Amino acid sequence: MSIIGTRVLRKEDPRFLTGASTYTADLNDPRLNGALHATFVRAFVANGKILEIDSTDALSVPGVEAVLTGADLDLKLPGAVPRFPAEVLNRPLLARDHVRFVGEPYAVVLSETISAGLDAAEMVFADIEPLDAVTDLEDAASDKVIIYDTLGTNTVLTFSDLGLATGITDAAFFADCEVVVKQRVVHPRMSAAPLETRSAAANWTAERLTLFLSSQAAHRVKNTLVRLYNLNPDEVHVIVPDVGGGFGAKVSPTPEDVLIPYLSRFCGRPVRWVETRTENMIAAGPGRAQVHYATLGGSTDGDITHYRLEVLADAGAYTRVGAFLPFFTLPMAPGNYDIANIETQAKSVITNAAPTEAFRGAGRPEATLTIERMFDLFAAATNIDPITLRRKNLIPKEKFPFTTPVGSEYDTGDYATSLDKALAAAEYEKLRTAQSKRRESNDVKQIGIGVINYVEVTAGPAPGGNEFAQVEITPEGKARVYSGALSHGQGHQTTFAMIAAANLGIAIEEIEVIQGDTDQVARGEGTVASRSTQLGGSAIKDAAESVVAAAVQIAAELLEASAADVVLNHDTGVFHVAGTPAVNKTWVDVAAAAEPEQLLADADFNARCTYPFGTHIAVVEVDTQTGGVELKRIITVDDAGTIINPLIVEGQRHGGIAQGVAQALLEEVRFDEDGNPVTSNFADYAIISAAEMPTIELEPMATPTPNNPLGAKGIGESGAIGATPAVQSAVIDALSHLGVRHIDVPMSPQKVWSAIQKALHE
Ligand code: MCN
């Protein structure tokens, strides 16, 4: 029996649960002996001209070795997507003449101890002339305050100019529609909030640059260092120790990350850096941060025919990947629905806030939330049951593979079954009956039910991607798997060993998975866009099959048989002539007879992206007197094709769902009117905890994809994509009989209460 699909316990957990893991800050590596500590000095105004920086007092603090400012180095880190004007694309490692958001570093202290660094950082004197700042996305888009004089506008990219949006026509687009609904939908700025903040440690000697970094993509970091410092690839070694969460924010190295090795070369000693929670909250990459203007049109009997989606994306003060994320939003605009006519547009806009990055779902949650919101509004306008409306417009199973009018090629899907399964598991009719009773009795606490569908793209951007793997059999007959993906909480040590085990017939205990070390792993793309299993896992399968083919040759010689007759029994891991298993050779026998490197194979697996889908149902109780929301149940179907390890997949769904619920009810990065962040720690920024979550009810469903040999789609982001609109829909549903039609997330008690009051008094 294959190990694929079984609930294998996570191999990595004993280490994590017993405190034996090693994060960058914990490293006790001889290459870091005698390290200095870096402390960044950060902007305290959101927009300002640097007139003077004086480090004299800071340098007098005992234990301080040096203070560098932007004037001491002329280095800029280009953003990951070179589609933006140079001013906003290339970010100075330390601000030189101008600071553009609160938290932007303009100086760095090198000290013997962290405490000396903190003291000295406070003593770096900076005369910064404050200028008008704008952190609100729509205000920035209006160009009332221009952030970069040389650009003359804050809009730095219009997606139709690149052919990445259709562009918007006029009102005639909806002329044939009997019913048209419009809504502005806000997707707030969210913090990725990994429990391990950013952290780096470097040693740049005459021979080599070694950087330890908390990252999702070791080779991307290496490539960035090679380009930035004009080095030979052999001179750079990037090592990623254990990572305490990334959630998209640790994909591309940040200015602070790449400055640490520079500082090591500058002072001739190793340098370490661990950011504080507040630094992470104000300066590390947040995500989402879009505002949508959506219009949906169709017939009075619920035939949806026209959809228009216009997106404003908040880039922050420089263009990192977040500025480009509408390229993930627009192709997912119609969600699970067969809508014939679609218009799209997106603009990226500069604001005086930390530059945005990917955050779990990265552009896709926004598409889902908006289309699902529009379906609810259309249902309300036509008085059609929201489930009936959805069911009527779902892309039918028979139409797959299905190319949407916005050019996405959905591989496989069975959306009606997903919806049915979720409704059955939720006992939907009973929920509606309970809701009616509460309404009839005018209960203070009203029940709401939200039912949404989602489809997302993994291993994108379209058309697809690639990943590297190498499989090696050791002289002892064990296996080593080298993977270009990089687990930072996803459990690859377990699932990747399972994929290798299934193809080699070697027990997972005998398989070591190696990631995140650019000397040991030849190349790789890293872990992003829920791509690792379908691409990285398929690469392991390919490499393992090549190793088996080589092993069969050796076994045939040992068995004195023809290679064509020799087979590997994948359950027992022995080679034998087909039909005579009693006479056999083990991997130990084969490994002992192999030439060096004979049992070693590389694979670069390249494939089209895949489209996981599902249905989320949320049940909430809303206190109509206080606006307080309690999430009572969340039931989900998340179809990620063939599942390698259901236990790990359930964990991924749990984590994603919790983050999706957090976005619906709790989390939002906010600023005051001067652009100061007011959510700069976990007291002000309400990250979700187990206490706010009900038991999560997960329904299984698996529709394999033909796009890779595993049949697997991604699961890492699904929960975060489906849960937010489900909870939002449920809260609005609880209040729909009062006339409430829309509340933006996060639905704080204040917002919910205000919406009730507004509806009652209109
Ligand atoms: N898996 C499986 N069967 C499938 C799909 C996945 O058994 N059909 C397993 C995989 O083998 C892997 C895990 O589920 O162990 C997630 O796999 P996959 O969906 O391929 O996603 P990635 O490994 O590429 O992870 C990326 C994804 C993203 S983009 C973010 S953001 C994210 C996430 O995963 N950040 C996380 N999950 C996270 N989980 C933790 N704990 N921490 C983060 O920072």
Residue 1 within a domain: no
762 — pLDDT class (breaks 50, 70, 90): confident
- With a pLDDT cut of 90, the percent of the chain lying above it is 99
pLDDT higher than 80, residue 525: yes
Tens of pLDDT, residue by residue over 431-469, are 999 999 999 999 999 999 999 999 999 998 889 999 999
Cβ pair 456, 364 in contact under 8 A: yes
198: number of Cβ within 10 Å: 24
CB burial of residue 103 (10 Å; 0-12, 13-18, 19+): buried
Looking at the structure, tell me whether residues 317 and 426 fall in a common domain: yes
Mean pLDDT across the stretch 582-608? 97
pLDDT higher than 90, residue 542: yes
Cβ pair 201, 273 in contact under 8 A: yes
Looking at the structure, tell me whether residues 360 and 480 fall in a common domain: no
Tens of pLDDT, residue by residue over 145-187, are 999 999 999 999 999 999 999 999 999 999 999 999 999 999 9
Looking at the structure, tell me whether residues 479 and 397 fall in a common domain: no
Residue 178 within a domain: no
Tens of pLDDT, residue by residue over 381-398, are 999 999 999 999 999 999
Looking at the structure, tell me whether residues 279 and 291 fall in a common domain: no
Q: Which residues are CB-neighbours of 149 under 8 A, at least 6 positions away?
A: none
What does the block give as tokens for 337?
């629905």
* Summary mean pLDDT of the chain: 97
Q: What is the structure's pLDDT at 58?
A: 98
Looking at the structure, tell me whether residues 18 and 61 fall in a common domain: yes
Dist. CA 714 → ligand 1 center (Å): 7
Q: What is the structure's pLDDT at 307?
A: 98
- 202 vs 192: CA distance, rounded Å: 25
Tens of pLDDT, residue by residue over 8-18, are 999 999 999 99
**Tokens 């547009």, residue?**
345
- 343 vs 279: CA distance, rounded Å: 40
Q: What is the structure's pLDDT at 288?
A: 98
Looking at the structure, tell me whether residues 113 and 222 fall in a common domain: yes
Dist. CA 251 → ligand 1 center (Å): 14
Q: Which residues are CB-neighbours of 147 under 8 A, at least 6 positions away?
A: 47, 100, 134, 140, 154, 317, 350, 351, 352
Q: Which atom of ligand 1 has the smallest separation from the CA of 216? A: 44
pLDDT higher than 80, residue 1: no
Mean pLDDT across the stretch 536-549? 98
Residue ending a domain, among 587, 608, 629, is 608
Residue 324 within a domain: yes
Residue 502 within a domain: yes
Looking at the structure, tell me whether residues 603 and 614 fall in a common domain: no
Within 13 A of 98's CA, how many CA atoms are on the CB side? Answer: 15
The candidate with the shortest Cα–Cα distance to 410, out of 341, 332, 339, is 332
Dist. CA 538 → ligand 1 center (Å): 15
Dist. CA 175 → ligand 1 center (Å): 44
Q: Is the backbone of residue 711 left (phi > 0), alpha (psi -120 to 50) or beta? A: left
Tens of pLDDT, residue by residue over 731-761, are 999 999 999 999 999 999 999 999 999 999 9
Tens of pLDDT, residue by residue over 203-227, are 999 999 999 999 999 999 999 999 9
- 287 vs 661: CA distance, rounded Å: 15
User: To test the ligand 1 pocket, which listed residue (198, 220, 288, 533) has its Cβ within 8 A of the most ligand atoms?
Assistant: 533
Can you give the CATH number for the domain in which 269 is found?
Answer: 3.90.1170.50
Tens of pLDDT, residue by residue over 660-715, are 999 999 999 999 999 999 999 999 999 999 999 999 999 999 999 999 999 999 99
Cβ pair 147, 47 in contact under 8 A: yes
pLDDT higher than 90, residue 516: yes
Tens of pLDDT, residue by residue over 253-309, are 999 999 999 999 999 999 999 999 999 999 998 999 999 999 999 999 999 999 999
Can you give the CATH number for the domain in which 595 is found?
Answer: 3.30.365.10
User: To test the ligand 1 pocket, which listed residue (7, 456, 530) has its Cβ within 8 A of the most ligand atoms?
Assistant: 530
CB burial of residue 476 (10 Å; 0-12, 13-18, 19+): exposed
Dist. CA 652 → ligand 1 center (Å): 6
- Interstrand relation of 566-569 and 574-577 (parallel, antiparallel or unpaired): antiparallel
Looking at the structure, tell me whether residues 431 and 359 fall in a common domain: yes
Tens of pLDDT, residue by residue over 461-489, are 889 999 999 999 999 999 999 999 999 99
Q: What is the structure's pLDDT at 462?
A: 87
Residue 262 within a domain: yes
pLDDT higher than 80, residue 103: yes
- How large is the C-alpha radius of gyration of the chain? 27
Q: Which atom of ligand 1 has the smallest separation from the CA of 641? A: 8
Q: Which residues are CB-neighbours of 615 under 8 A, at least 6 positions away?
A: 415, 418, 419, 421, 422, 423, 451, 452, 453, 454, 636, 637, 722
Cβ pair 41, 124 in contact under 8 A: yes
Looking at the structure, tell me whether residues 347 and 447 fall in a common domain: yes
Instruction: Collapse the DSSP code of 549 into the 3-class scheme (helix H, G, I; strand E, B; otherwise coil) and give the result.
Output: helix
Residue 745 within a domain: yes
Q: Which residues are CB-neighbours of 424 under 8 A, at least 6 positions away?
A: none
Looking at the structure, tell me whether residues 79 and 227 fall in a common domain: yes
Q: Could you say which DSSP state residue 461 is in?
A: S
pLDDT higher than 90, residue 136: yes
Q: Which atom of ligand 1 has the smallest separation from the CA of 714? A: 19
What does the block give as tokens for 330?
């627009």
Residue 186 within a domain: no
Residue 556 lies in domain: 464-608
In this structure, the residue with its CA closest to atom 2 of ligand 1 is 644
Dist. CA 705 → ligand 1 center (Å): 17
**528 in contact with ligand 1, CB cutoff 6 A:** yes
Residue ending a domain, among 259, 283, 307, is 283
The candidate with the shortest Cα–Cα distance to 723, out of 588, 618, 608, 590, is 618
Three-point CA angle 357, 163, 339, nearest 5°: 90
Within 13 A of 462's CA, how many CA atoms are on the CB side? Answer: 18
Residue ending a domain, among 582, 608, 634, is 608
Instruction: Collapse the DSSP code of 93 into the 3-class scheme (helix H, G, I; strand E, B; otherwise coil) and give the result.
Output: coil
In this structure, the residue with its CA closest to atom 41 of ligand 1 is 489
Mean pLDDT across the stretch 541-555? 98
Dist. CA 63 → ligand 1 center (Å): 43
What does the block give as tokens for 321?
């990947």
Q: Which residues are CB-neighbours of 442 under 8 A, at least 6 positions away?
A: none
What does the block give as tokens for 675?
């652009």
CA distances from 263 to 86, 210, 212, 241, 419 (A): 25, 12, 14, 21, 55
Residue 551 within a domain: yes
Looking at the structure, tell me whether residues 117 and 229 fall in a common domain: yes
The candidate with the shortest Cα–Cα distance to 645, out of 690, 694, 700, 693, is 700
Is the alpha carbon torsion for 633, 638, 642, 644 positive or negative?
negative
Q: Could you say which DSSP state residue 673 is in?
A: T
Looking at the structure, tell me whether residues 474 and 526 fall in a common domain: yes
The candidate with the shortest Cα–Cα distance to 40, out of 199, 172, 248, is 199
- With a pLDDT cut of 70, the percent of the chain lying above it is 100
**669 in contact with ligand 1, CB cutoff 6 A:** no
Which residue blocks in 505-563 are alpha helix, DSSP H?
538-559
Dist. CA 501 → ligand 1 center (Å): 19
Q: What is the structure's pLDDT at 74?
A: 87
Give the helix/strand (H/E) hosting 52.
strand 48-54
- 757 vs 750: CA distance, rounded Å: 10
pLDDT higher than 80, residue 509: yes
pTM (2 decimals)? Answer: 0.97
How many domains, in total, are found in the chain? Answer: 3
